Amino acid sequence: MRTETYSPLNSEYDFENAPCGYLVLCANGTILHLNQTMLRWLGYSREEIVNKKNLSDITPRGTSLYFQMFVYPSLKMQGYINEVSLDIIGFDNSTTSCLFNATAVRNEDGSIKHLNAILFGISDRKKYEEEILQEKKLAETMATSRELILQAQRRIMAILGHDTRAPLFSINRIIKLAIDGTIPPEDVFPHFELMANQLDATLILIDNLLNWANAHYDSDAGQQKPIPLRTVSNDVYQLLRSNAVSKKLFLNTQIDPSISVRSNQSIISFIVRNLVNNAIKFTSEGGVTVSAEHRGDLVNITISDTGMGMDADQVKKYTGGKLDSTAGTANEMGSGMGLMLIKEFLIQLKGELQVESEPGQGSSITVVLPDTLFEIS
Amino acid sequence: MNAVLHRNNVTVRGNGSQTLIFAHGFGCSQYTWQEVASAFEKEYRVVLFDYVGAGQSDLTAYDSKKYSTLDGYAQDILDICEVLDLKDTVLIGHSVSCMIAVIAGIKKPEYFKSLVFVSPSPYFFTDASYDGGLNREDVDGLFTMMESNYLGWSSMMAPLIMGNPQRPELGDALAASFCSTDPKIAKEFAKVTFYSDNRSFLPLLKVKSLTLQCLDDMLAPPRIATYINEHTPGNTQVNLEATGHCPHLSAPVKTIAAIRDYLVNPEIYEDRDLLALKQ
């Protein structure tokens, strides 16, 4: 077997073809010298580069800014810089990702004579790092949105527990009293009406909750067939007609017929239904009007009533989501959850609520939504 | 130590009745002024400081909301003037500090005798009547570079480097890390620096000012100094034979000479401009 001997005397290290780029720069970045490896990465001839090109000519402009703001000051102040991750752009616009290390060689007065730099190619590692960075960013966004969803869910669970317990407790009690004979059989039937009334609010609550959960499932379902906003409003009226009829209230619509709901239809319907339901609840004379208009890049849906209205303090609590549920003008019960879920949805849709109200003069609640959710014909 | 002086790591050196305040630019710390400032210590009182988030400032004082506009930074300079009872100072700012100085000068003109702008720019982007020299792609590229380069910053090193100006044994770490900043704060400062449009402030300035302009500066090209000169009452402009964005580092001798000339005789450059016009 033949053996090779390595002798530094007759075999100098081949810096020209070293597995890294060597670069000598002026203090302002002009390239004074570079090795073959560097030239190969760049695809220029030596004559095209030396004394003709600046480091800023072979890096993106953002990198040049970075050098002006961080790298040159560091080289001047501390005499070296290590591990700057950057891209070198070649003649054919190919990029080579590198780690850049440099030391400053100084004149006697402390000014920089030139900079010795070395560049290691890290293209593969860079791709891997970028993947990690992307994953990290994705994980952070997901963690944030997951936390928001969790917070909403915790609030909803608390309301749900609180608001279903009371009616179930009293129904349970009536049943037990009937079983042990404390309530005589002939008096049981009148209690049914009481029990049914109590269950009404609970059923609305559960309905809302189901709607909310379903809306979460289908909100990403992509393009839906547009439904005229008027139809959405009329469907809501259909559903709530009996409540309005029993209080002798009118239900009026003033909606621009050119506005159709394109996406998140069930959510928008949910919002309108809950606001109309509230309006009916707090109105004893007159009625409720749903109007809508397209203005700028927004669609404003306004639910106004001729009801009892709110004072400034209540409006503040209403918009802040802190208004507790109170009984309606016909003693209708509520859970306060409708408004809370509306607020959750509006965050999701990037919309907001605007409230105008005067005690005794009625309220006017406007849902402001981006017009991207709509189709304007 | 006074809270403001601790917050901004304020250093006061030198003798003299006239006070010079040096304000560093985006990216590094008061150390960038070291060479230039020390040249003035014999005849002037010299005040140096770090913006909150930079150098050895008190990082716990960083408030994203306060520092989301340059006003927050200008307020810190005014705080320092108030605490040190400074009036009629000369405020010398580099890069973004020039516009911070303009805002401070408009708010409290009595604190400042004059302002010196080193490589200033009131707006980095371009619109119909103004060419700031940069576009969104350039600045996004800078942000990407900042994201992939933490310059020795790690949360392990941070408590050592920051907020320990009284511990000389950290000297080497300080020298080696004067450009290190918490990446989150650096990014927010970069956003304020690059996205602020301060052009409307210039005509409101009542304090006279001097612009030091480098020959080729991609962040502040010479035409911008001309724009500032045309829109700022009492501004004079001097071109420095220096390259890049940091003449106080690349050409400290020329920078010192230009500032000294202006301090000794503020009219000197105005005369020169008149001469140039007559010729």
Nearest CA in chain A to B94: A69
Say how far residue A90 (Cα) sits from the centre of its chain: 39
CA distance A57 to chain B (A): 12
Note the pLDDT tens digit of each residue in A326-347.
777 776 766 677 787 788 788 8
Q: How many angstroms separate the CA atoms of A145 and A216, rounded? A: 13
Residues 6+ apart with CB under 8 A from A27: A72, A76, A104, A111, A112, A113, A114, A115, B250
Say what the pLDDT of residue A196 is.
Answer: 77
Q: How many angstroms separate the CA atoms of B180 and B178, rounded? A: 6
Say how far residue A197 (Cα) sits from the centre of its chain: 40
Nearest CA in chain A to B25: A69
Say what the pLDDT of residue B274 is.
Answer: 43
Note the pLDDT tens digit of each residue in A13-50.
888 999 999 999 999 899 999 999 999 999 999 999 99
Which residues in B lie closer than 8 A to residue A65 (C-beta atoms)? 134, 138-139, 141-142, 145, 218-219
Q: Does A65 touch chain B (CB under 8 A)?
A: yes
Query: Mean pLDDT across the stretch B19-44?
Result: 92
Higher pLDDT pick, A212 / B46: B46
Q: Is there a contact between A292 and A252 (Cβ–Cβ < 8 Å)?
A: no
Say what the pLDDT of residue A140 is.
Answer: 86
Which residues in B lie closer than 8 A to residue A27 (C-beta atoms)? 250
Say what the pLDDT of residue B18 is.
Answer: 96
Note the pLDDT tens digit of each residue in A302-330.
999 999 999 888 888 887 766 667 777 77
Candidate from A255-259, A315-319, B131-135, B270-274 with smallest mean pLDDT: B270-274
Q: Which of A62, A85, A133 sits opposite B141 (nearest CB)?
A: A62
Q: What is the mean pLDDT of chain B?
A: 86
B141/A72 Cβ within 8 A:
no
Higher pLDDT pick, A222 / B217: B217
pLDDT band at A272 (very low <50, low <70, confident <90, very high): very high
Q: What is the 3-state secondary structure (H, E, C) of chain B?
A: CCHHHHHCCCEEECCCCCEEEEECCCCCCHHHHHHHHHCCCCCCEEEECCCCCCCCCCHHHCCCCHHHCHHHHHHHHHHHHHHCCCCCEEEEEECHHHHHHHHHHHHCHHHEEEEEEECCCCCCCEECCEECCCCHHHHHHHHHHHHHCCCCCCCCCHHHHCCCCCCHHHHHHHHCCCCCCCHHHHHHHHHHHHHCCCHHHHHHCCCEEEEEEEEECCCCCHHHHHHHHHHCCCEEEEEEEEECCCHHHHCHHHHHHHHHHHHHCCCHHHHHHHHHHHC
Say what the pLDDT of residue B49 is.
Answer: 95
Query: Could you say which of B24, B94, B245, B248 is catalytic?
Result: B245
- The percentage of chain A sitting over the pLDDT mark of 70, rounded to a whole number, equals 91
- The percentage of chain B sitting over the pLDDT mark of 90, rounded to a whole number, equals 65
ipTM of the prediction: 0.86
pLDDT tops 50 at residue B169: no
Residue A120: C-alpha distances to residues A101, A102, B118, B142, B147 (Å): 9, 12, 35, 21, 19
Nearest CA in chain B to A27: B250
Candidate from A125-134, A208-217, A290-299 with smallest mean pLDDT: A208-217
Query: Mean pLDDT across the stretch A9-16?
Result: 74
Q: How many angstroms separate the CA atoms of A273 and A142, rounded? A: 31
Say what the pLDDT of residue B163 is.
Answer: 44
B249/A72 Cβ within 8 A:
yes
Query: Could you say which of B24, B209, B217, B248 is catalytic?
Result: B217
pLDDT tops 60 at residue A93: yes
CA distance B176 to chain A (A): 6
CB atoms within 10 A of CB A291: 17
B218/A56 Cβ within 8 A:
yes
pLDDT tops 70 at residue A349: yes
Span between the terminal Cα atoms of chain A, in Å: 87
User: What are A122's two structure tokens?
Assistant: 């890290």
A77/B250 Cβ within 8 A:
no
pLDDT tops 50 at residue B170: no
Which residues in A lie closer than 8 A to residue B151 (C-beta atoms)? 70, 74
Candidate from A188-197, A289-298, B125-134 with smallest mean pLDDT: A188-197
pLDDT band at B140 (very low <50, low <70, confident <90, very high): very high
Catalytic residue status for B245: yes
Nearest CA in chain A to B151: A84
Query: Mean pLDDT across the stretch A297-302?
Result: 94
Report the candidate in B55, B2, B5 with the shortest Cα–Cα distance to residue B26: B55
Note the pLDDT tens digit of each residue in B222-237.
999 999 999 999 999 9
Helix axes B136-148, B183-195, angle to 10 degrees: 170
CA distance A74 to chain B (A): 7
Query: Could you say which of B50, B57, B79, B95 is catalytic?
Result: B95
Catalytic residue status for B95: yes
Q: Does A61 touch chain B (CB under 8 A)?
A: yes
Query: Mean pLDDT across the stretch A81-101?
Result: 92
A69/B250 Cβ within 8 A:
no
Q: Which of B151, B178, B218 sits opposite A77 (nearest CB)?
A: B178
Nearest CA in chain B to A61: B138
A72/B145 Cβ within 8 A:
no
Note the pLDDT tens digit of each residue in A233-248.
998 888 788 778 888 9
pLDDT tops 50 at residue B278: no
Q: Does A54 touch chain B (CB under 8 A)?
A: no
